[in-house]
């Protein structure tokens, strides 16, 4: 059912528009009189949103519209793009410049482009300083040993502490297994004593956890 104004109401609307007065009109669905205010537009056909939804005017308009159709309701037109790395076809908004289907494919291109290119020693020093500053500010609470695995000074200090203590835990005398080098004076409070051998003790994982619990 197509809801439209009758010819009589159209004539009334045209007369009132010419006169400039406010327009009171009937609702197309429930025939209730509404309007008369400055905030209500004159092209409005329904008295409320309930009548608009009950009438089914919106759904009929979407079905009959040639460009939109029922399948493309509330969806923009899209174009197909093939990924440059894996060749996967994916949909994109026509205004976008996306070339890769995922972040993994994007990272592969960066790694392939940087392969074989030597990095200058100045660049390596800058990266190491930035990593050190980041972990000094953060305090190494959430991710504990990601920086230590890269730092050569720490690895040398750690192996020297293990060799001095003969790879045995100094608390429970457990030999071998998963061992860790514990700083007697903390890493953050005493930066000058970080790489001194006398500031380290070999400890197993369970004893190392107990050390930090007692500190708190």
**pLDDT 10s digits, 2-46:** 456 678 877 876 776 676 666 778 888 888 888 776 566 767 888
pLDDT reported for residue 8: 80
pLDDT digits (tens, 9 = 90+) for 101-116: 998 888 888 777 777 7
Please report which confidence band the pLDDT of residue 88 belongs to, taking 50, 70 and 90 as the band edges. very high
Asked if 51 contacts 27 with a C-beta cutoff of 8 angstroms, the reply is yes
- β-bridge mates for residue 161, sequence order: none
Using CA atoms, how far apart are residues 125 and 136, in angstroms rounded to an integer? 16
Higher-pLDDT residue of 149 and 168 is: 168
The pLDDT of residue 168 is above 70: yes
Using CA atoms, how far apart are residues 85 and 102, in angstroms rounded to an integer? 10
Asked if 40 contacts 23 with a C-beta cutoff of 8 angstroms, the reply is no
Using CA atoms, how far apart are residues 98 and 82, in angstroms rounded to an integer? 10
pLDDT reported for residue 69: 47
The pLDDT of residue 202 is above 90: yes
The pLDDT of residue 82 is above 90: yes
pLDDT reported for residue 163: 92
pLDDT reported for residue 61: 66
Percentage above 90 pLDDT, the chain:
12
pLDDT reported for residue 162: 92
């Amino acid at each position: 059912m197509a809801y439209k104004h009758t010819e009589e109401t159209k004539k009334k609307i045209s007369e009132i528009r010419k006169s400039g007065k406010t327009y009171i009109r009937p609702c197309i669905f429930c025939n209730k009189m509404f309007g008369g205010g400055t905030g209500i537009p004159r092209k409005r056909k329904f008295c409320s949103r309930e009548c608009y939804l009950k009438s089914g005017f919106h759904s009929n308009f979407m079905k009959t519209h040639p460009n939109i159709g029922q399948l493309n309701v509330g969806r923009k037109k899209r174009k197909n793009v093939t990924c440059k790395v894996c060749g996967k076809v994916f949909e994109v908004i026509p205004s976008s410049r996306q070339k890769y289907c995922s972040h993994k494919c994007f990272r592969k291109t960066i790694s392939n482009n940087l392969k074989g290119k030597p990095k200058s020693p100045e660049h390596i020093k800058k990266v190491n300083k930035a990593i050190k500053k980041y972990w000094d500010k953060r305090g190494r609470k959430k991710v504990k040993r990601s920086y230590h695995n890269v730092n050569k000074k720490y690895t040398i200090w750690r192996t020297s502490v293990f060799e001095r203590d003969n790879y045995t835990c100094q608390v429970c005398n457990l030999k071998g297994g998963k061992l860790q080098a514990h700083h007697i004076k903390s890493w953050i409070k005493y930066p000058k004593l970080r790489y001194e051998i006398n500031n380290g003790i070999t400890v197993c994982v369970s004893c190392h956890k107990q050390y930090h619990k007692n500190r708190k």
